[in-house]
Structure formats: C-alpha cells, structure tokens
C-alpha cells in the first residue's frame, strides 16, 4: 500500500509539533468519551470524523488492556454512532461480548457456507462476529484470506457510504500472512472511506504492523510495550520519544498513548490514564419522589429520538461516564441538557419517553433552572 506524502509527513512530525502530552482544546470537545488525561485530568473525546483518515491501530502486550479497550470502542461505535460492527476473533475471547451486543455470530465453517453471505445487504442491517478459534494453526493464514474474500465480496458489491461499518481485527498478524487478506486490508485503507468503512486493528508487537498501516492510521493507541525491538521500532517511527519510554514501560493496565492526526493538520497526543468502561446494563435516575431503572440502550435511543442536539447521545454518555457511575440525579441530568443548549420541549419529551412522570419532571426542572439561575415556566 503506497504511503501518501501527507501521512508520511504526519507520522514523522509528531514530536516536532507536539509535546509529550497536549491539553485538549475546544476543538477536541465532541465525540466519544475515552477517559481522562494523565497530566491534566481532562476528558479525552474521540471524534472519528475529524481524523485525517478513519483507521485505527492499537498496540500493546498481552494484559495491557487493549482487548477491553477494543470491546469498549466497538460498543460505543455500535450504540452511540449507529455503526455496524464486523469482528474477527482468533481466540474466542470476544464471543460473550458479541452475544451481549446482539451480533450475528458465526464460526468460520458457517461463514464459508454459500447461502450465508451471498446476500451482501446483511452487513447493512446487523453486526457480525466470526469465531475463528477452532481453526488449526497451520490453516489460519489460508483461512483468513478465504474469510476476508467473502466479506470483501459482500461489502464492496453494495455499500454506497450511507451505512457506516467498522471492521475489528485483533491479532491482525494472522491475516497479514495471507496475500488475499493483505490485499483486502490494503483496499479498505485505500478506498474504505468512500464506502463508509473503517478498520480497527490490534496486535501485541509493533513490528506486526507495516509502515503503511501505521502511517495510514489516523488514530494510534499504544498500550504498555516491552522489548528492545518494540521500543526501537517506536523510536524510529517517531511515535514515541526517548523521555517517554519509562512511562510506556511502566503503564498500568488500561493506560495508553493516544495519537490523533486531524484533518486540520493538528496532531494531538495524550496519555489516557485509564480507559472508561462503557457497559450495557441499567442507569438509575433519581429524584425526591422516585428512582427509575432504565436500560442504557433505551436511554440513549430515546435521547437520539427526542433531543435536538446532533451528538446528544454521546454527550449524555460522557455526562454519566465522567461521573464514574450509572446513578443520575434527574435535576443534574436536566441541568446538563440545558447547558448543552437543549430546549425545554425537547427535554420534557425526552424525560417523558423514559417513563418519568410530569410531577417529577416539574420538580427536577425547577431545581435545575434554579441552580442555573434561569427563569422557570410552567410545563
């Protein structure tokens, strides 16, 4: 895959233009909440659409937290960004996650049946998980090429960019051994954007990722790495500087460097002190008269339906996650929505859609407005 001049310049100038940890700016305030910076304790928001290209590389040794990070990212893409997920799993460790996400789950043998993927539209209507853990080691390279060829045929024959799809591949080195698989990954990196495709690849060794994959990744997450070969590779690439090596070697589980290459030519670099976990259980909404348990997905779906803000679901997710729990005071929720510019009728409709009664809404709205110093009108 040829490197573009722009991507080469970006990859080489990271440390010429950026300190070891930047401060998030106003331009970095929208997107998915990942967690907080190590140095400034400020929120890190990830906006895929603002990156120079949509592809993501994740590097980290076993046990560094990259698998949980990938699960978290896939879940947020699916729930908050309405993306379809295609997940390829060599170990089977993502299976329970895929079931909980209500993905269509297949073994490699299932996927190879002609009837299953001759209808390419299935990728537009649901998310797909492929469990490849039963494939013999000697057959993995060949099998990866066969499966990705099937997926390629289904995707590129019908997609027009209206439906966004994210392809997650952990232990990507298995696929890069096969020429068909390599060609497919190369094609996604070259042409994926116009089809609404992005790719998220992860591996344990820096050397597993070729220079063109790194330089064509708009986003790179580097978890704990050890070994001279890994460290020297990172130094040669310019992704990490000498003073940062001690930090990298001593990262706790879930800590990572986040390197964002933006469309506006800015390159931002942060240290995520711990990935914020996003779970599909229940939120607890409380006020003086009641406590309501509501499913996270329903809560976020209702926010998309009734609130006016384009990023309402992502902002609400950030509001709750950044407070470290799933318990919400109704007046705090309403106050947050008012500060985000949501209008009164939308807020009321949203609260009603969650099953909250008018008396509780009135009381919480009054408390929120009082705290904000705003005039209160009758509902």
How far apart are the C-alpha atoms of 306 and 95, rounded to whole Å? 33
Highest-confidence segment of 159-163, 277-281, 302-306, 334-338: 334-338
Answering whether pTM is above 0.85, one says no
Query: Model confidence over 284-317: pLDDT tens digits?
Result: 899 877 889 888 888 888 888 888 766 788 888 8
Q: What pLDDT score does 254 carry?
A: 93
The more confidently predicted of residues 153 and 171 is: 171
Report the residue count for the chain.
379
Give one DSSP letter per residue of 194-226, joined into a string.
GGTEEEEEEES-GGGS-HHHHHT-SEEEE----
Highest-confidence segment of 8-12, 222-226, 293-297: 222-226
What value does the mean pLDDT take over residues 92-112? 86
Question: What are the structural domain ranges in the chain?
Answer: 5-272, 282-372
**Is the pLDDT score of 377 beyond 80?**
no
**Is the pLDDT score of 56 beyond 90?**
yes
What value does the mean pLDDT take over residues 57-73? 93
What value does the mean pLDDT take over residues 148-167? 76
What would the two tokens of residue 18 be?
């950026």
Q: What pLDDT score does 6 carry?
A: 45
Q: What pLDDT score does 378 carry?
A: 44
What value does the mean pLDDT take over residues 13-19? 41
How far apart are the C-alpha atoms of 349 and 52, rounded to whole Å? 37
**Is the pLDDT score of 19 beyond 50?**
no
**Is the pLDDT score of 112 beyond 90?**
no
What would the two tokens of residue 39 be?
């140095």
At 328, the pLDDT band (50, 70, 90 cuts) reads confident
**Helices within 211-263 (DSSP H only):** 211-215, 228-237, 245-249
Q: Report the share of the chain in percent with pLDDT over 90.
A: 38
Q: For residue 206, count other CB atoms closer than 10 A to its CB.
A: 23
User: 5-272: CATH homologous superfamily?
Assistant: P-loop containing nucleotide triphosphate hydrolases (3.40.50.300)
At 8, the pLDDT band (50, 70, 90 cuts) reads very low
What would the two tokens of residue 328 be?
């919400």
Q: Report the share of the chain in percent with pLDDT over 70.
A: 85
Q: What pLDDT score does 95 carry?
A: 93
How far apart are the C-alpha atoms of 290 and 109, rounded to whole Å? 51
**Is the pLDDT score of 75 beyond 70?**
yes
The more confidently predicted of residues 17 and 203 is: 203
Q: Average model confidence (pLDDT) for the chain?
A: 83
At 15, the pLDDT band (50, 70, 90 cuts) reads very low
Pick the closest to residue 38 from 266, 319, 257, 221 (CA basis): 257
């Amino acid at each position: 895959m040829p490197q573009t001049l722009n991507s080469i310049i970006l990859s080489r100038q990271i440390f010429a233009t950026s300190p070891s940890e930047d401060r998030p700016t106003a331009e970095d305030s929208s997107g998915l909440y990942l967690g907080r910076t190590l140095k400034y304790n400020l929120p890190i928001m990830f906006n895929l659409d603002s990156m120079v290209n949509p592809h993501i590389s994740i590097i980290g040794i076993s046990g560094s937290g990259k698998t949980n990070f990938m699960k978290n990212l896939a879940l947020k893409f699916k729930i908050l960004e309405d993306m379809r997920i295609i997940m390829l799993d060599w170990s089977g460790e993502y299976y329970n996650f895929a079931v909980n996400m209500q993905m269509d789950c297949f073994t490699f043998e299932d996927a190879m049946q002609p009837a299953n993927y001759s209808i390419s539209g299935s990728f537009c209507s649901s998310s797909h998980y492929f469990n490849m853990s039963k494939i013999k080691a000697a057959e993995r390279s060949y099998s990866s090429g066969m499966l990705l060829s099937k997926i390629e045929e289904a995707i590129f024959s019908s997609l027009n960019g209206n439906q966004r799809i994210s392809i997650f591949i952990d232990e990507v080195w298995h696929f890069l051994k096969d020429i068909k698989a390599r060609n497919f990954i190369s094609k996604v990196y070259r042409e994926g954007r116009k089809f609404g495709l992005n790719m998220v690849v992860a591996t344990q060794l820096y050397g597993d990722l070729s220079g063109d994959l790194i330089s064509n990744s708009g986003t790179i997450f580097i978890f704990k790495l050890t070994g001279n070969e890994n460290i020297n590779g990172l130094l040669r690439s310019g992704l990490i500087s000498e003073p940062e090596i001690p930090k990298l070697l001593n990262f706790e589980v879930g800590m990572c460097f986040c390197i964002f290459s933006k469309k506006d030519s800015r390159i931002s670099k942060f240290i995520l002190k711990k990935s914020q976990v996003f779970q599909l259980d229940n939120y607890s909404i409380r006020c003086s008269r009641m406590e309501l348990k509501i499913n996270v997905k329903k809560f976020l779906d209702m926010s998309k339906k009734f609130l006016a803000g384009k990023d309402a679901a992502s902002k609400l997710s950030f509001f709750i996650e950044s407070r470290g729990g799933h318990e919400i005071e109704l007046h705090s929720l309403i106050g947050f929505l008012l500060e985000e510019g949501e209008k009164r009728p939308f807020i009321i409709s949203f609260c009603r859609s969650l099953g909250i009664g008018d008396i509780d809404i009135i009381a919480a709205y009054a408390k929120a407005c009082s705290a904000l110093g705003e005039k209160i009108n009758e509902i």
